Amino acid sequence: MSLSVDIATRLGALDLAVAFDAPEGVTALFGRSGAGKTSVVNAVAGLLHPDRGRVVLNGRVLLDRAKGLSVPVHRRRIGYVFQDARLFPHLRVRANLLYGAKDDARLGPICDLLGIAGLQERRPGALSGGEKARVAIGRALLSGPELLVMDEPLAALDQDRRQDILPYLERLRDEAGLPILYVSHAVEEIARLATTLVLIEEGRVLRSGPAAALLSAPDLAPVFGPRMAGAVLPGRIVAHHADGLTEVAVSAGRLFLPAVAGAGGQPLRIRIAAQDVMIALDRPERVSALNILPATVTALHQGQGPGVMVQLSAGEDLLLARVTRRSAEALGLVPGRACHVVLKSVAVAPGGVGQG
Amino acid sequence: MTTVWPGPEEWAAVLLSLKVAFWATLVSLPFGIGMALLLARGRFPGLGLLNVAVHLPLVLPPVVVGYLLLLALSPAAPLGSALASVGVVFAFRWTGAALAAAVMGFPLMVRAIRLAIEAVDPGLEQAAATLGASRLRVFATVTLPLALPGVLAGAVLAFAKAMGEFGATITFVSNIPGETRTLPSAIYAFLQQPGGDGAALRLVVVSVAVAVLAVLASEWLARRMMRRARG
């Protein structure tokens, strides 16, 4: 599958001109509020008519302004999960779910996937925010779309609810086999979900590419925010230990993390915030931090402030570390320099570990 | 003045009025919904003019509306004779009374429905479209059900207006007992007769009763539907 988008339009003060290709998996449009992300997905779904542009989904031309072609919204076969869910208030959950479905054959499996089987007879007004979001996702899935568009589906939820729903979205990504276009301005969400990233800034694509590469690019750290920047490390559960730690194999060695749910062999995506990573030239001894991995400095990026973003390769993967310029100079950190990265186990938040 | 129960002549007027109001409301309802949708969601030049035209019966003297209908639909007029040749006659018939009532009630009906349609979240209509629903299906399954309390209110208003319509009716179709003598026309006629005020008073009581029942019924239905729409 592939989605190819190239659109340009004027929206009030915003001059939107965005082009990108979305391969399989979750393609996340990331940027600040007002950057034009929602307008892009609205143009893809047909809810917004750009001045110029072309949208092609799986070889099917949905929009070609030059040829005056625009497939109407209801024929695009794009499921849309809105930020505010937009459930039909006059219909029960079951009728909402089946609104766009041909039959109810997939109702059971999708309700199980999203954990909403017990809600079917309820009215949308009687649902919590998290339940509404999951029903909206189920409703879009049941309409049999070729692409799922999600516009900040978790933005209206509090932190706990978000953590509840992220695993469902991961299952969706891994099990439903449906390409997803995901709009978000939350780094933790895209770190958990995205396979491809499109960074949007003031109506333009700043950079796009594989999520792992962009998240570990030191020069992009300011885009995610220095405190939010961090690489995502693929890993695999090895064992659960009696003291509450989970042992995880990564390409550079073993990590010990606070209990992660999942059986042995379960693939994980571990987000390691740059500010939680320490760099040591010698392997530290008698230190409380449990995770020490050999690494090599690959790139440095000097920002405005006193900090430096250091990209390191550890095994086959890339990590980001945020250190002060003073430390970087004192340690003589230059590309090629061998060192060790030190990571406190407790620094990895449960929300930062997702299914890979 | 001695008897409280209305006589056959008075009952005829009440039943005729109910029939006229029923048909006027029923037949104009689809047009009212269509016009309300057009005014609420349409975007084309001349929308303002159309809005004015729809509201005219509300502000014109009813006699003027009745006279215009007579000019257009009398058997002597081109439109009237054309309709008469296919068997549709309005002038001096109860159907004419229904038409006059429908025209006079139309702005009230359209206004109520339009407000209700405007109150429906366009985001829900968009959501329905992304789920594969055509415009017609979106309207039938989302817009109309959510606007139903307003549609109902519009229908009740139009019905009440039709029950009370007098000026346009008497000008267009006169005051023929059994054919076009509706409740208000009958009250008017009884008041012109010596000793007719007893009958007039009884009809006034019936009018009030019908009006109160209509308002109560609409309130009850509207509340039920509100509950349903809120989910």
Q: Where are the domains of chain B?
A: 8-230
Closest CA of chain B from A167, distance in Å? 24
CA atoms within 13 A on the CB side of B166: 8
Neighbours of A283 (CB within 10 A): 12
| B8 burial level (CB within 10 Å; 0-12, 13-18, 19+) | exposed
Q: Which two tokens stand for residue B68?
A: 């215009």
CB-based contact (8 Å) between A57 and chain B? no
Cα-flanking dihedrals φ and ψ of residue A77, to 5°?
Answer: 55, 50
Non-local CB neighbours of B192 within 8 Å, separated by 6+ positions:
none
Please answer yes or no on whether A90 and B133 come within 8 Å at the CB atom: no
Distance CA A212, CA A208 (A): 11
Q: Which two tokens stand for residue B44?
A: 């084309």
Q: Which two tokens stand for residue B52?
A: 């004015």
Q: Which residues pair with A254 in a beta bridge?
A: A249
Percent of chain B whose predicted confidence (pLDDT) is above 90 = 66
Identify from A82, A90, A137 which residue to disrupt to test chain B contact, counting B C-beta atoms within 10 A and taking the largest count: A90
Which H helix or E strand runs over A160?
A: helix A159-175
Average pLDDT, integer, range B206-218: 86
Distance CA B21, CA B182 (A): 10
CB-based contact (8 Å) between B136 and chain A? no
pLDDT in tens, B108-122: 999 999 999 999 999
Question: What was the pLDDT predicted at B138?
Answer: 96
Chain A hits for B228, CB-CB cut-off 8 Å, are: 90
Please answer yes or no on whether B131 and A99 come within 8 Å at the CB atom: yes
Distance CA B124, CA B107 (A): 27
First-last CA distance in chain A: 20
Chain B hits for A86, CB-CB cut-off 8 Å, are: 121, 123-124, 126-127
- Above 60 in pLDDT, residue B2? no
Chain B hits for A124, CB-CB cut-off 8 Å, are: 231
Distance CA A170, CA A266 (A): 13
Q: What is the CATH number of domain A3-215?
A: 3.40.50.300
Distance CA A115, CA A351 (A): 19
Contact A71, A77 (CB under 8 A): no
Q: Minimal Cα distance from A44: which residue of B?
A: B130
Please answer yes or no on whether B123 and A84 come within 8 Å at the CB atom: yes
Please answer yes or no on whether A77 and B132 come within 8 Å at the CB atom: yes
Q: Which of residues 91-130 of A touch B (CB under 8 A)?
A: 99-100, 123-126
Cα-flanking dihedrals φ and ψ of residue A95, to 5°?
Answer: -70, -35
Please answer yes or no on whether A74 and B132 come within 8 Å at the CB atom: yes
Q: What is the CATH number of domain B8-230?
A: 1.10.3720.10
pTM over 0.90: no
Contact A18, A11 (CB under 8 A): no
pLDDT band at B228 (very low <50, low <70, confident <90, very high): low
Distance CA A66, CA B158 (A): 49
Of A74, A89, A140, the CB nearest to B231: A89
Distance CA B117, CA B98 (A): 26
Higher pLDDT pick, A260 / B222: A260
CB-based contact (8 Å) between A140 and chain B? yes
Which H helix or E strand runs over A192?
A: helix A187-193
Give the residue from A310, A288, A286, A285 showing the smallest Cα distance to A299: A310
Contact B13, B183 (CB under 8 A): yes
Cα B57-B59-B60 angle, rounded to 5 deg: 65
Which amino acid, residue A161? R
Distance CA A112, CA A93 (A): 14
Closest CA of chain A from B151, distance in Å? 16
CB-based contact (8 Å) between B142 and chain A? yes
CB-based contact (8 Å) between A90 and chain B? yes
Average per-residue pLDDT in chain B?
Answer: 90
Which H helix or E strand runs over A18?
A: strand A14-22
Chain A hits for B135, CB-CB cut-off 8 Å, are: 74
Contact B139, B151 (CB under 8 A): no
Residues of chain A with pLDDT under 70: 1
Chain B hits for A150, CB-CB cut-off 8 Å, are: none
Chain B hits for A44, CB-CB cut-off 8 Å, are: none
Q: How do the residues of chain A divide into helix, strand and coil, expressed in percent and rounded to 5?
A: 30, 40, 35
Chain B hits for A88, CB-CB cut-off 8 Å, are: 124, 127-128, 142
pLDDT band at B1 (very low <50, low <70, confident <90, very high): very low
Contact A274, A218 (CB under 8 A): no
Strand order in the sheet with A78-81: A69-70, A60-64, A52-57, A3-11, A14-22, A204-210, A196-201, A26-30, A180-184, A147-151, A78-81
Strand order in the sheet with A230-240: A253-258, A245-250, A230-240, A267-273, A353-355
Average pLDDT, integer, range B178-199: 91
Distance CA B225, CA B45 (A): 35
Please answer yes or no on whether B128 and A88 come within 8 Å at the CB atom: yes
Q: What is the CATH number of domain A269-355?
A: 2.40.50.100
Structural domain boundaries of chain A?
3-215, 269-355
Non-local CB neighbours of B65 within 8 Å, separated by 6+ positions:
B56, B57, B100, B103, B104, B167, B168, B171
CB-based contact (8 Å) between B226 and chain A? no
Beta strand pairing call for A60-64 and A69-70: antiparallel
Strand order in the sheet with A277-280: A277-280, A338-343, A291-302, A307-314, A317-324
Contact A212, A220 (CB under 8 A): no
| A59 burial level (CB within 10 Å; 0-12, 13-18, 19+) | exposed
Look at the alpha carbons of B52, B58, B60, B66 in this order and tell me if their dihedral is positive or negative: positive
Identify from B125, B130, B137, B226 which residue to disrupt to test chain A contact, counting A C-beta atoms within 10 A and taking the largest count: B130
